[in-house]
Amino acid sequence: MQLIAIIDYGMGNLKSVSKAIETVGGKVTITSNPDSILNADKVILPGVGAFRDCIHNLKKFNLVEPVKEFIKSGKYFLGICLGMHMLFDISYEFGEYKGLGIIKGSVKKFENIGNLPIPHMGWNVVEKKKSSNLLHNIKNKDFFYFAHSFYVSPDNSSDILTTTDYGFNFTSSINRENIFGVQFHPEKSQKNGLQVLKNFMEL
């Protein structure tokens, strides 16, 4: 059985992600050890909180290079919510902060979206923009659970896996080669979320 490492950098809903992976039959380790991350078969970077604190903690725990090295190895990597934001060049969340620079683009705040409340919180649908095994058995416009005030804006449209309408169509998941990221929380998205995690486990 493949081992999925969930990166512990002092932030994120580690237990709920871990429990969701175990529910679909996965073997999980929660770790901040660089060797454990590099030796895992797949890696998940979850995230809840502010971009600034997240990137600070990744540096504090000396996890930036292990994450980059793991991704360069070609093994599958999944960023969830803020964990996906970390993959981008820059974030404008409460200032201006550099990300990991793995996916070209930026992280922006929802603005000028009419009377829609911020954060975008609750169930919404995703629209597929390209095919991916991560979305196996997920129908177009299936519902997932969101909780965020910022969204990613990739420079390359080819990196966009799905979009979601919230005043405009924002990128709700990404994929480039072995790299995946989802804005929604699969661990909170019931059947559809568990299917996505199962698909990731089986890539």
* 81 is an active site residue: yes
SS3 label, residue 50 = coil
- CA-wise closest residue to 189 among 120, 142, 139, 134: 142
63, amino acid identity: L
Cα-based distances in Å from 16 to 1, 23, 41, 42, 167: 21, 10, 20, 17, 29
Q: Which tokens hold the place of 113?
A: 């979206």
Question: Distance (Å, rounded) from C-alpha 19 to C-alpha 177?
Answer: 27
From 54, 85, 148, 187, active-site residue: 187
Angle at 104 between CA 149 and CA 32, to 5 degrees: 70
Q: Which of 85, 120, 148, 185 is catalytic?
A: 185
Residue type, 36: S
The two tokens of residue 24 are 């679909």
Q: Give catalytic status of residue 187 as yes or no.
A: yes
CA distance 42 to 32: 14
Name the DSSP letter for residue 199: H
Judge whether 120 counts as a catalytic residue: no
Please pick, among 81, 85, 93, 120, the residue that the annotation labels catalytic.
81
Q: Which residues are catalytic?
A: 81, 185, 187
